[in-house]
Structure 1
Amino acid sequence: MRTKIAAAICGVAATLAMAAPAAAEGETTTYRLGGANRYETAVAISQWAFEPGPGEEIPVTVASGVDFPDALAAGPLAAAEVGPLLLVPKDGVLPASVKSELSRLDPLWINVAGGAGAVSSLVESQLKDYDDVYRLAGRDRYETATELAFEAGGIDTTVFIATGASFPDALGGSAAAGRLGGTLMLTRSTSLPESTASLLKYGQPTKVVVLGGTGVISNSVISQIKSIVPGATVQRWAGNDRYATTAAISKNTYPQGSDVVYLASGADYPDALAGAPIAALDGGPLLLTRKECVPAATKQEIARLGATDVVVLGGTGVVSNNAANLRSC
C-alpha cells in the first residue's frame, strides 16, 4: 500500500487541502483538511493520507460520529492497521461521502467500534456491502475500549489510560499511542474498571501513561495500576487544561521535535478522532485549539517542536482561519 502522508506535506492532494502560500524560513505552512460536516472531514483526512494502488485493499475502522465513548480507543487500532478512521451516523443511511470513500479504498476489512447503541445494525449491514465487517464491542465503553486495545496490540508495551467520561485527553493520547505502537484504554475517575484492570494484568505493559490531572483521574487509579503491573513505569502526563495536557502528551512523545503538527478543535471530538491515526502515521502530534485563537500552551508546543507544517482538521466553523494561522488567544 502507498500512503500519501509524506508527500501530502509537500502539497499533494491540493484539491483536499487548502494550502497557504509557501512559508519563509522559520515560518509554517498551513494545510486544511475539511468538509461540509464531520463525515466529509473524516473522508478528506482519509483521502489526504491513503491512495490505494491497483488491487490494493486498505483496512478501515469506523466509529460513531455522534457520540464519543466507544470511539475513543479506535484511533490506535486504525494506526496499527495502517488505515483510516471514518465516521458514520448511529443509524439511518450511510452518507454519500462515506460510501464513495469506501468504494475508493476497497477495504480489506472493516472494524466497527462499539455496539449497536453506537453504530446500529442497519449501518453495519450497509458496511457489509464493501467487505467483511468485524464489530469490536463490550457491555460498556470500558469493555469496548479493551476490545479495541486488544485488537490493536501493544498491550505489552505502552498503554495510555484516559478518562471515559470526556474526550479531550484521549484524543492526543490516541495519536501518541498510535505513534509509539501502544494502545489506549479508559478508566473511571477513582477506580479502574474490571475490564481495564484485567487487560493490564494480562498484557503486563512496560509503561503505563495516565492522561490528565487528578481532577479527571485520581491518584488512587495510579496506585491500582502499580499494584497490577508492578514492573511497569507509570507516569502521569497532564497540564492545567485540555490544551496543556495535549501539549504535554506531544512533548513526551516527540522530545526531539517534529516537522509536522495536526491541529483540531478542543471543543468537540470528531475531527481529532479521525485525524489521530493519521497524525501517528505521519510522525506528528495532535494538538487542540480554540475556534478563534490558539491557546498559549498549544502555540508554545508548536514552537518547541520546530514544526514547519500545520495540518488543520475541520472547516472554518470549528477552527477559524485566525486559529489556523496560529493567532494567539
Structure 2
Amino acid sequence: MIMYNYKEKYLYLNKNKIGRIFFVILFLLLFLMVSMNSIKANDVMRIEGKDRYITSVEISKKINTDKASIVLVNGDNYIDALSGNTLASTTNGRILLVKKDKIPRVVEDEINRVKPDIIYILGGMNSIEKSIEKKLENLGINVKRISGYNRYRTSEKVVQEVISMKNIEKLAIASNESDIICAAQYCGEDIPIILVEENENSIDFINSLNLQEKIVFGGNKSISQSFYNSVSATNRIFGKNRYVTSVEIAKLKTSKSAYIVSGENLVDALSLGPLAYQNDRNIIFSKKYGLPSSIRDFVKSTYYNYDIVGGKNWVPDDIMKIKKPDDLNNDKVTNTSKFEYWDKYNNYDRKVILNSSEIEKINKKNISKSNYLYKVENIDGEYGVISRRAIMKKQPYNDKDPDTFDDYTALTGLFPWEEVVIRKYNADKSWAFVYSVDYYGWIPTKNIMKMSKSQMLENRNKKFVVFTDRQYKTSEGDIIDMGTKLPLVKSDSNYYTVEMPIHGNYYKTRYILIPKTKATEGYLEFSQANIIKQALKFKGEKYGWGHSNLTRDCSGFVRDTFKTFGIIIPRDSSSQEIEDIGKKVSFKGINGRTKRENLMMSNSAGSLLYLPGHVFMYIGVNENSKPMIMHHYGYVFENGVKKNHFRSDITSPNLLTTKNGSFLDYVTTLRNFQVLK
C-alpha cells in the first residue's frame, strides 16, 4: 500500500514543476534521516593494537595523506610526542612510536608503506639513538632531528619548526599531557602547542614569538595566573579534571563526531591528534568503567557518531552503561594484582608503625653494629653520589656489560644520589671500587658525581621526594627506581621538579620532572597497608640478578620496597636473614606444611621468609583463606619437570622449587621488619 501511494504521488508531482521541487526536497530529507539513523545504528569502531607501537600504526593507517611526513617519538618517554601533534598535522603526517634503540617491525612496515618525504625525530639521543637516524638515512629517507636539552626546549624547537612553515597567529600553552592530547584536534595545523614550565625560560620564549593570541589549556593548578599574566595570555580553557577539560575543549568545535580514549592510559592517544584533525573529530576522555555521567550526557546530546581508541581494558565497549558504585569497584576487588583485592580479605593495618625520625635513629643503631651495612662517611677515600643507575660488579668488566637476567657478575643496583666512597680504581680509571651503605664492589666511574665529604653530609639535609612507583624512565633517559631519594626543587599540581647529579669531578646538577602520582614528599608512611601496596607494584616484573636487566631479584625486591619508608636493610637474602633487624622467628624443627603454614599465618602479612638463596613476602590470604606469597623467583617444578619463570609473581608458598620440596618446606627464618624496636 505504501509503495502504491508513493508511486501515485510521484506521478502526480511529475506533472507539476513546483511539485517536483517539493518532492526532491522531501526525498533528500528522508534520505538524510535514514542515513543518520543508520549511522546511529552502526557498531562503534575500535582502533587498537596489542601494544602502544601497534596502536600508533593502526591510527596511521587511517590517515589518508600518503607520502608526506612521519614524526617519530620514543614510546616509553612519550612526552616529546605531545608537541609533535601540530608538526604532524602541518606536514600532512602522522606520529609513530619507536623504542630508544629499535624500530619495531610493524612500525618499519608502516614507514615503508607510507614512503614519507621526511621523517622528524623528536628528542635527543637519550630518547632515540643515533643508530635509528642512520638506519633511516641509509634507506634514502630525509631525516630531521628536533631536540633540546629537555622536553620544554624540544617543545620550543618544534614550535619554531611549525612557524618556519606557516603564518602562525595563535599559540596553545599547556603543562600536562592530558590537556595537550585533547587540544590536538582543535589546534590542528594552525596553532602550535608548547609544553611549558613555570620559569623565565618559557616566559621569555613565548614572549619572543610576538603572537597576538595565546590560549592556555588547564586551570590555575596547571598553569598559574602569574604565568598567564606574564605571557599576556588571552584565554583559558579548563575543567575541574581532565575529563571535564576534554569536554570544554570539545565545545570549541562544532564537530558532531568524536574519538573516545582513556584518560588513565594516555599512551593510546599519543598518535591520535593528526587523525582527529583530519576527520574533524573531538577527543573525549573516558574512565575504565566508561564515561562519567556528566561526560556521558554531553556525548549523547552532541555526537551522532563516535569511535573508541585503545583496548577494552581501558575503554569498555559499552561506554554509555551506567554502573552502580559496587560495579565500579568490582575490577579492583576481583583483580589479584590490586591492593583492594588483598585488603578485602586481610584488612591491612593503616596505622603508622614508626615515623621517619624514629626510623632514622634505628637505622643509625643498626648500621653501627651491622656486619653488612656501612657508614660511608667513616670510610677514607673520595666521596660522591651515583649520577645514573649503576650495576655494581664483582670485578671491572672490560667488554660490553651483559644485559640479561643471569648476569652473575652483578652484585646490586645503585640508584641516583646514593652515597659512595671510592677506595681505588682500575688501571685506566674507568671503574671505581666503592662502598655504599649496603654493599661494596666495582662500578663504572662515569656513573659517579664526586663531591667533598662536607657537601655529601650537607646534601642529607635537603628537602626530598621518594620515588614510590616500580620504575620510571624520564624523557632525558634517566631510570628512576622505587626507593630513589631525590632533592626537591619545587612542585606544581602535576610534577615535582627534582635535582639530578651530573657525573664528573665536581658538584653539578640538572633538573628533571617526576609525576606526583609516582612519588611522595619525604618518606612514605610506614604502615602494613603501605608495605603490601609497594610490594604489589612489582607483580609481573622480569627477574634481574643483582638488579641487572633493569629490574631486580628476590632480595632486591625486598630492599627497594622498604627503601620507600627510609628503612635500611642489608642487600642479600643471606645477610638480611642473620642480621639483628626486625623480629626473628625460627622455622627450624617445624615439620610438615600445615604447621609451617600456621606459623607463617600467625605472623603479620608483610613479613619476610628466608630459605637458602631466596626470600619471599607473606602477603596474607586469598578469597579461599589460603596463604599467598609475593616473590621474584627463577625455576619451578611442574609434574616433575623444571621450568623457567624468572619474574615476580603471587603464588602459593607450596609451589615446588625442587621435584619434591616447596618454597615453604625449605624456610629457615621469618623476619618481621614491622617490629624494628
TM range (shorter): 0.7 to 0.9
Cα distance in 2 for residues equivalent to 1:193 and 1:137: 20
Residue 157 in 1 paired to residue 159 in 2?
Answer: no
TM-score (norm 2): 0.40
> In the alignment, which of 101, 108, 112 is matched to residue 117 of structure 2?
108
| Structure 2 runs not aligned, ≥5 long | 1-34, 324-677
* Counterpart residue type for residue 235 of structure 2: Q
1:64-75 alignment, distance < 5 Å: 64-75=74-85
CA contact (8 A) 2:65 2:93 kept: no
Instruction: Give the Å deviation of 1:140.
Output: 1.0
Could you tell me how far 1:192 is from its partner in structure 2? Answer: 4.1
Cα pair 2:259 2:284 within 8 Å, conserved = yes
- Structure 2 CA distance for aligned equivalents of residues 117 and 149 of structure 1: 21
Q: Which amino acid aligns with 1:318?
A: W
SS of 2:221's partner is: coil
Matches within 5 A, 1:258-297: 258-297=255-294
- CA contact under 8 A between 1:168 and 1:242: conserved in structure 2? yes
Partner of 1:241: 241
1: distance between equivalents of 2:117 and 2:193?
24
SS at match of 2:40: coil
Summarize deviations over 1:54-73 as a string: whole Å, max 9, x none. Answer: xxx22111112112322210
Matched, 1:83 2:93: yes
Structure 1 pair 124–268 and aligned structure 2 pair: CA distance change class (3 A): farther
Q: Secondary structure at the match of 2:37?
A: coil
Matched, 1:143 2:159: no
Contact 1:237 1:248 in 2 (8 A): yes
Alignment of structure 1 residues 32-51 onto 2, 5 Å: 32-50=46-64
CA distance in 2, matches of 1:155, 1:63: 26
Higher percent of residues as strand: 2
CA shift at 1:26, angstroms?
8.2
Distance 1:183 1:201 in 2: 14
Distance in 2, Cα, partners of 1:322 & 1:81: 35
User: How many Å apart are 1:142 and its aligned residue?
Assistant: 0.8
* Per-residue deviation, residues 274-325 of structure 1 (Å, max 9, x unmatched): 0111101211211111122112343233235x322212112223322123xx
**C-alpha separation in 1, matches of 2:194 and 2:259:** 22
1:48 is displaced (CA, Å) by 1.3
Larger radius of gyration: 2
Contact 1:142 1:193 in 2 (8 A): no
CA contact (8 A) 1:71 1:114 kept: no
Give the superposition deviation at 1:269.
Answer: 2.4
Alignment of 1:182-221 (within 5 A): 182-188=191-197, 191-194=198-201, 196-221=202-227
Residue 9 of structure 1 is matched in structure 2 by none
> In 2, distance between residues paired with 1:248 and 1:32?
24
| Match of residue 327 from structure 1 | 321
What secondary structure does 1:223 align onto? helix
Change (3 A) 1:71 1:155: farther
Contact 1:243 1:297 in 2 (8 A): no
Cα deviation for residue 209 of structure 1 reads: 1.1
Partner of 2:156: helix, strand, or coil? helix
Task: Tell me which moved more, 287-296 or 38-47.
Answer: 287-296
Give secondary structure in 1 for the equivalent of 2:148.
Answer: coil
Contact 1:161 1:210 in 2 (8 A): yes
Structure 1: 5+ residue runs without aligned partners? 1-21, 227-232
Residue type at the aligned position of 1:310: Y
The amino acid of 2:71's aligned partner reads: T
Determine the C-alpha separation between the residues in 1 that align with 2:200 and 2:182.
Answer: 22
Equivalent residues of 2:53, 2:104 under 8 A apart: yes
- Deviation, structure 1 residue 267: 1.3
* 1:215 shift after superposition: 1.4
How far apart, CA to CA, are the structure 2 residues paired with 1:45 and 1:302?
22
- The one-letter code sitting in structure 2 at the alignment partner of 1:327 is K
2:523 — aligned with what?
A: none
Q: Which has the higher contact order (CA 8 A, sep 6+)?
A: 1
How far apart are residue 193 of structure 1 and its match? 4.8
Equivalent residue for 1:173, pick from 171, 183, 200: 183
| C-alpha contact (below 8 Å) 2:156/2:205 kept by paired residues | yes
Equivalent residues of 2:85, 2:95 under 8 A apart: yes
Alpha-carbon displacement from aligned partner over 1:123-169 (angstroms, at most 9, x marks no partner): 32333336111111111111100111121236842211111xx4111
Give the count of matched residue pairs. 285
SS at match of 2:306: strand
Q: Match of 2:231, SS?
A: helix
State, as a whole percentage, how many aligned pairs show the same letter. Answer: 24
Q: State how far apart, in whole Å, the 2-side matches of 1:292 and 1:239 are.
A: 20
Q: Distance in 2 between matches of 1:121 and 1:147?
A: 19
Q: Distance in 2 between matches of 1:246 and 1:111?
A: 28
Q: Which moved more, 1:138-147 or 1:121-130?
A: 121-130
Alpha-carbon distance in 1 for matches of 2:273, 2:244: 17
Cα deviation, residue 36, structure 1: 1.1
Alignment partner for residue 121 of structure 1, among 130, 133, 149? Answer: 130
Which amino acid in the other structure matches residue 237 of structure 1?
Answer: I
SS in 2 for 1:27: helix
Task: Indicate how the Cα distance of structure 1 residues 51 and 146 shifts in structure 2: closer, same or farther if over 3 A, else same.
Answer: closer
* Aligned CA distance change for structure 1 residues 208 and 314 (closer, same or farther; 3 Å): same
Contact 1:159 1:184 in 2 (8 A): yes
Q: Which letter does structure 1 place at the counterpart of 2:203? A: A
TM-score by length of 1: 0.80
| Contact 1:172–1:286 (Cα < 8 Å) also in 2 | yes
Q: Is the 8 A contact 1:68 1:269 kept in 2?
A: no
Measure the CA separation in 2 of the matches of 1:328 and 1:234. 38
Instruction: Supply the distance in 2 between the matched residues of 1:51 and 1:276 (Cα, whole angstroms).
Output: 14
Contact 1:103 1:130 in 2 (8 A): no
Distance in 1, matches of 2:41 and 2:283, equals 16
Partner of 1:19: none
